[in-house]
Amino acid sequence: MTVGSFTSHYMFLALADQMVGLNALLDGFSTRSAHALCTIAYSPGPNPDNPKNEPEVFIFEGRTGGTIVPPRGPSQFGWDPIFEVQGVGQTYVAGSNSWFTLTSRCSYAEMDSVEKNKISHRYKAVNALREYLLEHAPQ
């Protein structure tokens, strides 16, 4: 079973207690591994080199691995309390030339927002778009 893109809809509309509900839904599975995924599409507009003048679309993806856990931390933003970020110790943040340290396994909700934003799936997708735009900027 893949909850996938329906997770938000299913969790927030169909389940009375979304965090406990998703954990209950996963009770029958051998793994609670998960990943947070953000996909951004960008098009610079019509493409005169294309015979149909169709715009070219570029896709940028950010992914952060983790595990679904019982709720921990403040529940101020979506499923943050139930998404435990994969990795312990000193970890390199791709594309940022910096290191951050996770002292223990943390849910997104338990992380400092600066620390979370360095590894979030949204950051990774936006950073990939940023790098593309910097590389392909008009001269």
Q: Domains of the chain (ranges plus CATH)?
A: 4-135 (3.90.950.10)
Is residue 46 within 8 A of residue 52, CB to CB? The reply is: no
Separation of alpha carbons 34 and 67, rounded Å: 5
Task: Please write the tens of the pLDDT for every residue from 14-40.
Answer: 444 556 677 888 888 899 898 889 999
What tens digit of pLDDT does each residue of 46-91 get? 877 877 877 889 999 999 888 888 887 777 777 788 888 887 433 3
Q: Does 101 score more than 60 pLDDT?
A: no
What count of other Cβ atoms lies within 10 Å of the Cβ of residue 79? Answer: 21
- The pLDDT assigned to 54 comes to 79
Cβ 33 vs Cβ 65: under 8 Å? yes
Q: Any idea of the CA torsion for 8, 13, 17, 22, to the nearest 10 degrees?
A: -40
